Amino acid sequence: MNELVTLRAFNNSNDFQIAKSYLESFEIECFAQDENVTSTYWTGVAGGVKLQVREEDTERAIKLLMEAGYLKAEDFEPSAEMKFVEKLLNFFKRK
């Protein structure tokens, strides 16, 4: 089965469409998650329009998006919230 991987969330559909067109120009099929929700409601409700690709295209898509400036290495680092959750989980694992 072809799993989809979310590579990035965009605050608006226009930015999503540009990145999607860019990847599709390299014959990478792209999918949108929450596009209708984001265009109908406030962006914060759905977390933006999520750009997804097939799992087997993930590495190539990430490389292309980084080369074009749509992604940065920092985007793959855990957020401060995730680091806090990890510390909390580790604390309770020790007990």
**pTM for the predicted model, two decimal places:** 0.70
In the block, tokens 């490389």 appear at 63
**pLDDT value at 39 more than 60:** no
Q: What is the pLDDT of residue 43?
A: 44
Q: What is the mean pLDDT of residues 9-17?
A: 88
- Domain boundaries in the chain? 4-94
- 4-94: in CATH 3.40.30.10: no
Q: Where are the alpha helices (DSSP H) in 1-95?
A: 13-24, 35-40, 43-46, 58-67, 80-94
Strand partners, 52: 6, 31
**Cα R_g (the chain), whole angstroms:** 16
Residue 36 identity (one-letter amino acid): N
Q: What is the mean pLDDT of residues 51-79?
A: 91
Q: Give 19's pLDDT tier (boundaries 50, 70, 90).
A: very high
Q: What is the pLDDT of residue 74?
A: 84
Q: Give 35's pLDDT tier (boundaries 50, 70, 90).
A: low
